[in-house]
Amino acid sequence: MINRTNKTVIIGIVCAVMMFGFSFALVPLYRVVCKVTGLNGGANVAEIESSFYASAMNPDEKIAIQFVATNNANLPWEFYPKKNTLIVHPAEQAKMLFFVKNDSNHVMTVQAVPSFTPPLAAKYFHKIECFCFRQQTLAAGESKWMPVVFQVDKTLPADVHIITLAYTLFDVTALPRKSG
């Protein structure tokens, strides 16, 4: 009977250690999947070779950049772009401001995660400055405008006339703060 109990305990401990290890492996695995598939706006989207996207955009043409801001789950923050759409020329540097306000009664830290539509656009959308590069911490009731400075590459395929840049805020208050 003791041997059977010991075996069960050992199996339980091994399973717990394996689950713990798997949880640490999820983040790097997720990044690899995003990089390969282009999911979640990863800037290094896998190469998509297609005659459909073969031609580059005329630099005189304009591109509509649509901005979407959402909160994950029940995050008690206000979050929205100053304008929903901005018209830009390829290779032109542009700037958009996003308003955030912590409506909770305590200090909170969030991380903005970008996503692009069409996913191919991530490869041609270059963020020079972005609030999504760092976690944002605001005191209760604090608000601010946060910039994203960007440029759309002039090699954007000619058939892409609208790019939607969507940011989702995630509450990371309980997680260790990123350094740098």
- The residues near 84 (Cβ < 8 Å, ≥ 6 apart) are 66, 67, 68
Helix (H, G, I), strand (E, B) or coil at 162: strand
pLDDT tens for each residue of 102-120: 999 999 999 999 999 999 9
DSSP 23-91: HHHHHHHHHHHHHHH-GGG-SSPPP---GGG-SBPPTTS-EEEEEEEEESTT--EEEEES-SEEEE-TT
Q: Going edge to edge, which strands form the sheet with 93-102?
A: 77-81, 93-102, 143-152, 125-130
Q: What pLDDT is recorded for position 4?
A: 81
Contact by Cβ (8 Å): 38, 125: no
Scored b (16 or more CB within 10 A) or e, 67-90 reads bebebeeebebebebeeeebebbb
pLDDT in tens, the chain (180 residues): 568 888 888 888 988 888 877 776 777 777 766 666 656 554 443 343 333 344 455 657 899 999 999 999 889 999 999 999 999 999 999 999 999 999 999 999 999 999 999 999 999 999 999 999 999 999 999 999 999 999 999 999 989 999 999 999 999 998 766 554
Q: What pLDDT is recorded for position 16?
A: 84
Q: What pLDDT is recorded for position 1?
A: 56
Give CA–CA dist 129/119, Å, rounded. 20
Q: What pLDDT is recorded for position 94?
A: 97
Burial of residue 57 (CB within 10 Å: 0-12, 13-18, 19+) is buried
Which single residue is written with the structure tokens 């010991």? 6
pTM: 0.67
pLDDT tens for each residue of 154-180: 999 989 999 999 999 999 998 766 554
Q: What pLDDT is recorded for position 155?
A: 92
Give CA–CA dist 174/180, Å, rounded. 18
Distance, C-alpha 75 to centroid of its chain: 16
